[in-house]
Amino acid sequence: MSDSRTKLIETGAELIWQFGYTATSPRQVMAASGVGQGSFYHHFPAKTDLGAAAIAANARAIVEAAEAALAGPEPGLVRVRRYLLAERDALAGCKIGGLAYDRAVLDDPRLIEPIGDAFRQVAELLESALRDAQEAGAVRADLSAAEMATMAVSVVQGGYIVARARSDAGLLRQAASAAYALLDPNDGR
């Protein structure tokens, strides 16, 4: 991949994360990356071409972070805890979650599919760890691992929204901690 293409994708990913897809213009990406118009349009004939590459890059980052938290030889519940209670910049928001509200993203399969795929992959990783935890008797068995995985992804995404809306980064951690406690059938709460 050429240096200018890489710079454009990295810069586009950062700006789209900060401002959203619709509010990010090719001109902003060019200015912030230092890449000229000719090079921009050589690599990305349309804004959606850059958007697809930038959103896919942010989606990969989300999946890679989940893989890092949920992989390993530790018991399933330890891996789930590591994912739920991972340090996150709650006030910066999720790199892809906010894009699910952007009409231009929703209307273009090339833009929305990497987001849906990333959340599916994260849920599958969680489901595997939760299934391991259920088999060990460490997680409640009255819900399916898939249902609990969907809950965990939803708690993290909702935690970002509530934390940002109330300007309180601790709310994401509070929500994730409560979700973790609800998984354990032996929790004394």
Residue 163 domain-assigned (yes or no): yes
- pLDDT band for position 187 (cuts 50, 70, 90): low
- pLDDT band for position 189 (cuts 50, 70, 90): very low
Residue 132 domain-assigned (yes or no): yes
Tens-digit pLDDT profile for residues 156-171: 999 999 999 999 999 9
- pLDDT band for position 185 (cuts 50, 70, 90): low
Tens-digit pLDDT profile for residues 40-59: 999 999 999 999 999 999 99
- Report which DSSP code applies to 188: -
Tell me what percent of the residues of the chain surpass a pLDDT of 90: 94
Tens-digit pLDDT profile for residues 144-154: 999 999 999 99
Residue 94 domain-assigned (yes or no): yes
Residue-range definition of the domain harbouring residue 131: 56-183
CA distance 159 to 93: 9
CA distance 157 to 172: 9
Q: Output the pLDDT for position 111.
A: 98
Residue 31 domain-assigned (yes or no): no
Residue 9 domain-assigned (yes or no): no
Residue 35 domain-assigned (yes or no): no
HSE toward the beta carbon, residue 35, CA cutoff 13 A: 23
What does R_g of the chain's alpha carbons equal in angstroms?
A: 19
Sign (positive or negative) of CA dihedral 175, 117, 22, 40:
positive
Tens-digit pLDDT profile for residues 16-36: 999 999 999 999 999 999 999
Say how many domains are in the chain: 1
Q: Output the pLDDT for position 125.
A: 98
Residues in the chain: 189
- pLDDT band for position 2 (cuts 50, 70, 90): confident
Q: Output the pLDDT for position 184.
A: 77
Kindly tell me if the per-residue pLDDT of 108 is higher than 80: yes
Q: Output the pLDDT for position 124.
A: 98
What DSSP letter does each residue of 10-38 carry, written as one string? HHHHHHHHHH-TTT--HHHHHHHHT--HH
CA distance 76 to 131: 7
The CATH number covering residue 98 comes to 1.10.357.10
Assigned token pair, 127: 């489901």
Residue 8 domain-assigned (yes or no): no
User: Which residues contact residue 90 at a Cβ distance below 8 angstroms, ignoring those fewer than 6 apart?
Assistant: 159, 160, 163, 164, 169, 170, 171, 172, 173
Q: Output the pLDDT for position 1.
A: 60
| pTM for the whole structure | 0.93
Residue 24 domain-assigned (yes or no): no
170-179: list long-range contacts, CB under 8 Å, 24+ apart: 170/90, 171/90, 172/88, 172/90, 173/85, 173/90, 176/84, 176/85, 177/84, 177/85, 179/84, 179/151, 179/152, 179/155
